Structure 1
Amino acid sequence: MTILYLLIPLSLILLGLAVWAFFWAVKNDQFEDLEGPAHRILFDEDDNDLTSEARARRQEASRAHSPDSSTDNRPDNSGRSGH
């Protein structure tokens, strides 16, 4: 029975922390855009759908921005099938 003197205040502290976390999330707009990330994937470009010319331009741009482009030994995935 004496354990209740510990558990009741502990549960009230935990409840207070949960309420504080909820109001913090609401105040910092954590619940504003719930569906945006679900729809964002539909608008992302897929490298397999790019033409070879667009893929070459994208690789040139990424090499121009990389500090050491001579060690770029990544294989070209243009031979992969779309499956």
Structure 2
Amino acid sequence: MEVMVFLVPLALCLGLVGLVGFLWSLRSGQYEDLDGAAWRAIFDDDPPQAPAPVAPRKE
């Protein structure tokens, strides 16, 4: 039971750190454009590469 003296304040501090981080991300605009981030992950920005030419075989 003595360990509860350390674990309860530690859990409260970690929860407070998480809450502060979440509030900071809200105020800095991290959740403004959720659809844009989703579409950027889907679209391929690089143009397709042409295959390298294959040298003819000598028989």
TM over 0.5: yes
Would you say 1:14 and 2:14 are equivalent positions? Answer: yes
**Other structure's SS at 1:29 match:** coil
The AA in structure 1 aligned to 2:17 is L
User: CA-to-partner distance for each residue in 1:3-48, whole Å, 9 max, x for gaps?
Assistant: 0000000000000000000000000000111110222326x362x3
Say whether 1:23 aligns with 2:23.
yes
Where does 1:1-83 land on structure 2 (aligned, <5 Å)? 1-40=1-40, 41=43, 44=45, 46=47, 48=48, 78=50, 80=51
Structure 2: how far apart are the matches of 1:2 and 1:36? 50
Name the amino acid aligned to 1:34.
L
What is the TM-score when the length of structure 1 is the normalising length? Answer: 0.51
Consecutive unaligned residues of structure 2, counting only runs of 5 or more, are 53-59
Q: Please name the residue that 1:51 is paired with.
A: none
1 or 2, which has the higher helix percentage? 1
In structure 1, list runs of 5 or more residues that go unmatched: 49-76
Q: Percent identity?
A: 32
Report how many aligned residue pairs link the two structures: 50
